[in-house]
Amino acid sequence: PTPVVLDVDTGVDDACALLLAALHPALELRAVSCVGGNAPVDDVVRNTLKVLETAGRDDVPVARGAERPLLEPPLHARHVHGEDGMGDLGWPTSSLVPDPRHAVELLRDVCREAAEAGRPVTLVPLAPLTNIALLLRTHPDVASGIAEIVFMGGAANVGNATASAEFNVFHDPEAAAITLDAAADLGIRVTMYGLDVFYEPVIGRDEAAELVAVGGRGPAELGGRLMDFQRERLGGQDATIGDAGAVCAVIDRDALRTQVLPIRVELAGHWSRGRTIVDRRDWSGAITHDPHGEAPVRVDVALGVDGRRYSRLWA
C-alpha cells in the first residue's frame, strides 16, 4: 500500500476523504494534520477524530495545526459545511484524543521516519496550505520523506470562493504560493486536483440511501449521510465526493488527465487574489524568457477525470 498523510479542514468532503484513506486497502494512512479552514481548527480536530473512530482507526495520530492563515484573518464556511463543520449530523463525539504535537511537528516526524525507512509518504493536503507552507520552510529536510504532494485546491478555470479563486487557495494565498515555491525548490512533484475536476465524481440519491441503510453508525452510514447533507444543501440529484477525489487520484491515477503547466498564485489582485493562474498558452512550454523575470513553478494540473470511476472507488 501507498503510505499517505492527509492535511484536512474537516469539512463534509474532508470527512469523505478521511473515510477512504482510512479504509482503502491500497493506502496506508500514517497521520492526519488539521488546519483552520472550512471550520475553526478545534472543530476540525473534533470532526476528524469522530471520522477516524467511526472508521476504527484509533491508531492514526491526529494533530492540531495552524488556527489562521499566515497573513489574513480566518474565513470559515459554515454556510457550506454546517454549524459544526461536518453537516450537523449529530454524529457521536469521539473519545479519541489528539496527538500532543503541533501538526507541523507531527508532519516533520512522520516524513523523517518515512525517509529513514525508505518509504516516502504521499502528502495529500485538502485544506488551506498553511501547515504545509510552515512545514516545508521550517524543515526542508522532510523533502526526502515526501514521494509527492497531491493537493485539492486551485483551478485552471473559474473559482468557487470568488469568481477567480478556489476556497483553499483563497483562504491562505501566501501559504499556497510558498508551498508551490518550496516544493519546486526541493524537487517535490506536485499534482493540483482543482475545481476543473472536483465536481465530477458524484454520488446519486439512491447510492447514498444504500450507504445509509448499512446503518450501525459505521463508516458507510456516515458517508451516505454526508452525501445526503451535500445534496440537500445544493438541491439536485447528486453530490460531489469533493476532497475524496484527490485521495482517489492517489489510488487510481490513470483515471485523471493531467498536464504539466506553469502556475502562479495571485497575491495582489483585489478581485483576483488567491487565483491560481495556470498558463495554458500552447507555446508556454517553449517560453525561455519571462517578462516578470522569474521562472514560474510547474505542476501537474488535473484537467479531466473519469468521475464515475472515482465515485465507484469511493462508494
List of residues 6+ apart from 271 with CB closer than 8 A: 162, 163, 164
Contact partner, 242, from ligand BDR, Ca ion, none, Cβ < 5-8 Å per class: ligand BDR
CB of 128: closest distance to Ca ion in angstroms? 8
CB of 48: closest distance to ligand BDR in angstroms? 12
Q: Which is nearer to ligand BDR, 158 or 214 (CB)?
A: 158
- Using CB under 5 A as the binding rule, whether residue 207 contacts Ca ion is answered as no
Contact partner, 20, from ligand BDR, Ca ion, none, Cβ < 5-8 Å per class: none
CB of 127: closest distance to ligand BDR in angstroms? 6
CB of 279: closest distance to Ca ion in angstroms? 26
Residue type, 120: P
| Residue the block writes with cell 498553511 | 130
Which of 55, 124, 127, 192 is in the footprint of Ca ion by CB under 5 A? 127
Contact partner, 177, from ligand BDR, Ca ion, none, Cβ < 5-8 Å per class: none
Contact at 8 Å (CB) between 39 and 81?
Answer: yes
CB of 215: closest distance to ligand BDR in angstroms? 26
Q: HSE-up of 143 (CA within 13 Å, CB side)? A: 17
Which of 62, 126, 247, 249 is in the footprint of Ca ion by CB under 5 A? 126
Contact partner, 266, from Ca ion, ligand BDR, none, Cβ < 5-8 Å per class: none
Residues making contact with ligand BDR (CB under 6 A) = 11, 13-14, 38, 77, 80, 126-127, 152, 160, 166-168, 242-243
Q: Which is nearer to ligand BDR, 50 or 101 (CB)?
A: 50
Q: Which is nearer to ligand BDR, 7 or 207 (CB)?
A: 7
Contact at 8 Å (CB) between 264 and 277?
Answer: yes
Q: Which is nearer to ligand BDR, 52 or 114 (CB)?
A: 52
CB of 227: closest distance to Ca ion in angstroms? 15
Measured distance CA(284)–CA(261) in Å, rounded: 8
Q: Which of residues 243-282 bind Ca ion (CB under 5 A)?
A: 243
Q: Which is nearer to Ca ion, 61 or 153 (CB)?
A: 153
Q: Which is nearer to Ca ion, 3 or 11 (CB)?
A: 11
Contact partner, 80, from ligand BDR, Ca ion, none, Cβ < 5-8 Å per class: ligand BDR
Q: Which of residues 9-28 bind Ca ion (CB under 5 A)?
A: 9, 11, 14
**Which residues form the interface with Ca ion (CB under 5 A)?**
9, 11, 14, 126-127, 243
